[in-house]
Structure formats: structure tokens, C-alpha cells
Amino acid sequence: MEEDKLVKIQDVNQALEGIGEWEGNKYSFRYANVGDEITFFTIGKRKRKKIIVKEHKVLSKIEIPICQYYYKCGGCSAQHLPYASQFIYKTDPLVKFYFENHKLESNLAPAQNIVCYRNRMDFAVFPEAIGLRKFGDFRTIVDIERCEIQSDWANEELRVCRELVKDYEGLPYHRKLETGYLKYITLRYGFTTHDSLTIFTFCEEFKDTEWETRFITDVCQKSKANNIVFCYNNKKSEVSASGNYKVIRGNHFYMENVMEQRFSVPFDSFFQPNPKGFFPILDTVEKFIADLEVDTLLDLFCGNGFFSLLFGRYFKEIYGFENVESSILQAEQNVKAKYASKKVLFKRFDLFQNKLDLNFLTNPVKTVAILDPPRSGAGKNLISVLNISSIPYILYVSCNPNLQKEEIEKMSNYRLKSILFADPFPHTPHFESIAVLEQIK
């Protein structure tokens, strides 16, 4: 164990952590703000080095957290900061980069709602608690009765589920003893439709037992959800809402509307956690493509066809690529149903492992590409293919704007026309962006 160190917080980084310096080394601290003083020591070496805070003197003006569990829960990390400051800390390094390197003013869309915005929450079920994992400790659960960033419906449903589980001693899964069955409760809610879905994730041994039959009866009597799904996976799996499933009530999906388009969202599929907070990005897409003379949409990492369904009306041909078979099937079915007169083709394809051959495009110079990759980015294969293509415009949507910046810098045959930063995730380090790229002629 090393000696105690005392640092004064000088700045806040993009991860919304306070930064202090000791003997030329920078250290970051959760919940700290500029002006605070931190006394700490470190244990371990290199990658195993861990910071232990002995004292945190709060000398700055901080916000009163909206959540009673804030300093324990591993979810939100910036409720102690005014929201306006959160947004600046998250985006400012990139705003400065694009101005200094591209002479470009960034467009900014801070959140309009900073509470009650998430349409999905996954709560771990342990014998002693139902809640979210403690910050820095995956094995410890903070017992949570209410989450301030989920919907009011979800908070009421969480209360009902907690009371329900209390009546079944031994039902929560014990990770060490490998006893019990229930591992997760997932709550999903459509803010525009008020449709709802509750998902219980069990160990697969629970399926078709007498205990399950009793639990189904009680769930159907007490749950407020329109749709209820039980799913089952391996004991060792720590993935919620995944595996074989059984519909207990309603459907295996819930409905949500985005820009007047109705989406069915399966229990195990990804959907924007905050569609309203994502709207500035959708608005940017529509305003840009509405003025173009193009006839083909190339939808990359298309998922269930989200962008194709919303904007397919502007194109004669729609092509989508995604590596998840169920998503591709749903995308093709939905897009063909909506745009029956158009040429529609969706194909399962691993855009990370393989290079996409664009020879299928009838007229590349009349094409717009929209890519919305996962947090790991678009990948070197796709970036290289797009960079040497004849596609005049690329709209790059990202949930990892810092990695997006690195990939944009590799696209030497394109210039950055505009960049927008939106914040669907207040109180967290996460935010989204859309870059509009134009081919250099």
C-alpha cells in the first residue's frame, strides 16, 4: 500500500470524472467536481492498480442528486453536476477538435428531459436485493425501489414485481450457491403508445415446473404490463431478456411510435432507449436527404430496418446489411410491407469480418449511405470500402463519438459537412452524434 496522496480537482473529463494531479500523474475520481479535495491511496500495480478514496472534501457547489441511490448505484454518474455542465464536459473536447481541425461549428442538442426518459431498465434479482449493480463491484446489487430515469409506469411495475418476488422465498437465483431461478426483471415501455412489456429471466430449469405455474397465476393477477414474457437461459449466463421464451400475456413485443412510424419491439431486441432524445439526429437525417436528388439508400448496421422504415419514402431502392439473422428477417419483412413498389433487399452480412462489395448498386452516385454501428465503431473494412466508393454522401450515426472521430479522419476522400451532438442519456458519460460526409470531387 502506498502513502496517502492529496489532490485538488482541476477539471472534469468526458467521463464526467473529476481530474487531479499528483507528481505529474493524473487521477480521476467519480462524483468529484472542480475545487474538491481528494485524499486517496493506491493498491496493486499496473492494470491491477486500484484507487481507494479515504476522504472527499466537497468544496464545490454541487447539485442535490435526484436519486436516493446515486452515490451507490453504478448507473448514473453525474447527478452532482448541473445538467448544462454535464453536456459541455461531454461534448466540448470534440467541439474544439472539429473547429480547430475542420473549421466547423458543431451543432448541439442537449437533452430536453433529464428524468423519466429511459424506455428500458434491467434489474438484477439476488436473494437479498432487486436492483442495479454497485459502482465498481459487479457482484454487489444496490437494492432499488425506484429509478428516477425510467418511466412512472416502470416504477410502479417495479414495486409490484418486488412485492411479488417477496412472496416466493427461494425464487431469486443465488449466484454462489446456484440455488433459485429468477435472475433478472426487465421493464420496457413505449412513451408514445403507453404499451408495456415485463420480462422475467430465469434459469432454464424453472421452465414447466409446478412453481412456474403458480408464479404465472400470480404474475397475471398483479402485473400491470400489457405483455409479459418469461425467458430461460443457462445458470451461468448474466444476460437479461435472452434465450428461449414463453409469452405469458399479450405478445413477445411492445409497440412504439417514432416520427409517425409504428415499430414492434421484440423483448430481446435493441431499440433506442430514449427515442425523444434521439430525435435531433433523425431530424438531421430527414432534412438532409429531403433536398437531395438520390434514388438509393444503403442502410448499414440496419438492425430491424429503423432508418429504412423512417426514410425509405425518399428512395426507389433500399438495401440493408446486418449480421443478426432475426433482425434482417424482420427488417426485410417490414420494409417490403411498407414500400411494396420499391426494390428492397436486406442481407445478413458481417461488416466487421468481410469487405462489402458495392457492385450491386445500380447507380452509386445516386446513393446515400447511412451507417449506425455499435459502440465498437464501423470497423476498418467498412471504412476502407466507403472511402474508395462513388457514394456522394455518407451519414454516420454514432453512439461512440470519440471513436467516430478517429474513423472520420481515415476517410480521406470525404470532407466533413456537418456534425451534431445529441444527448439521449443525461447523467451518464454517453451521448450520440451524426456526421454528414460529402465526397471530395
Q: Is 399 a catalytic residue?
A: yes
Same domain, 173 and 45: no
Helix, strand, or coil (residue 275): helix
Same domain, 290 and 352: yes
Question: Which residue segment(s) compose the domain that 363 sits in?
Answer: 85-112+274-439
In a domain, 77, yes or no: no
In a domain, 211, yes or no: yes
In a domain, 249, yes or no: yes
Same domain, 48 and 176: no
Active-site entry in 73, 147, 161, 399: 399
Number of domains into which the chain is organized: 3
b/e string for 418-436 if b means 16 or more Cβ within 10 A?
bbbbbbbbbbbebbbbbbb
Q: What is the pLDDT of residues 346-369, one digit of tens each?
A: 999 999 999 999 999 999 999 999
Same domain, 282 and 423: yes
Contact 117, 144 (CB under 8 A): no
Place of cell 426518459: 117
Same domain, 247 and 295: no
CA 118 to chain centre: 10
Q: What is the pLDDT of residues 67-111, one digit of tens each?
A: 999 999 999 999 999 999 999 999 999 999 999 999 999 999 999
CATH number at residue 13: 2.40.50
Spatial CA neighbour of 196 closest among 119, 277, 135, 271: 119
b/e string for 319-351 if b means 16 or more Cβ within 10 A?
bbbbebeebbebbbebbbebbeebebebeebeb
In a domain, 129, yes or no: yes
Task: Please give the order of strands across the beta sheet that includes 37-43.
Answer: 5-8, 37-43, 50-57
Q: What is the pLDDT of residues 39-72, one digit of tens each?
A: 999 998 877 888 999 999 999 999 999 999 999 9
